[in-house]
Amino acid sequence: MAGVSPAAPGLTRFHLVEPAEKGFAYAQAVGDGDRLYVAGTLSIDERFIPVAAGDMRGQLTQIYRRIAQTLAAYRIGFGQVLKETVFVTDMDALLAANDVRVRTYADHVPACTVVEVRRLAFPACLAEIEVVARLR
């Protein structure tokens, strides 16, 4: 896992798996002043292979684990998340596994939008989550 590094003036950049992310022309997160923008995060491993294929609960667990690593690189946690956008291929499966999301945020409740989509970048992935967090 790479560390937080300077990007354009006033910006920082973070990669979980830098070579693979650069191959897709994105950073896992970009910090701008007091805001952190975390890219849509899938249930994949360090080799970009889907984890927990067909299992919404398992995929949400892996996604939140990867987001937690990203937030930790900036020394913050889920309590600083202001906005979450969740993309799913099966809304009913998300609703059945929503306890994973509820546990992740505990007493903190960010603004949230959930959207059902036809498919994600990797067909085995059922969910993708992006967040905006407060850095200060």
**Torsion sign (Cα): 97, 102, 105, 110:** positive
Instruction: Say if residues 122 and 50 touch (Cβ distance below 8 Å).
Output: yes
Indicate the pTM of the whole model.
Answer: 0.93
Helix (H) or strand (E) holding 56: helix 56-73
pLDDT, position 1? 44
SS3 73: helix
- pLDDT 10s digit of each residue in the chain, 136 long? 467 877 778 899 999 999 889 888 999 999 999 999 999 999 999 899 999 999 999 999 999 999 999 999 999 999 999 999 999 999 999 999 999 999 999 889 999 999 999 999 999 999 999 999 999 8
CATH number at residue 113: 3.30.1330.40
pLDDT, position 2? 60
Q: Which two tokens stand for residue 106?
A: 């505990």
d(C-alpha 52, C-alpha 45), whole Å: 10
Secondary structure letter of residue 25 according to DSSP: T
Q: How many domains does the chain have?
A: 1
pLDDT, position 67? 98
d(C-alpha 92, C-alpha 88), whole Å: 9
Structural domain span for residue 130: 5-134
pLDDT, position 96? 98
d(C-alpha 94, C-alpha 87), whole Å: 10
d(C-alpha 25, C-alpha 40), whole Å: 13
Helix (H) or strand (E) holding 35: strand 35-42
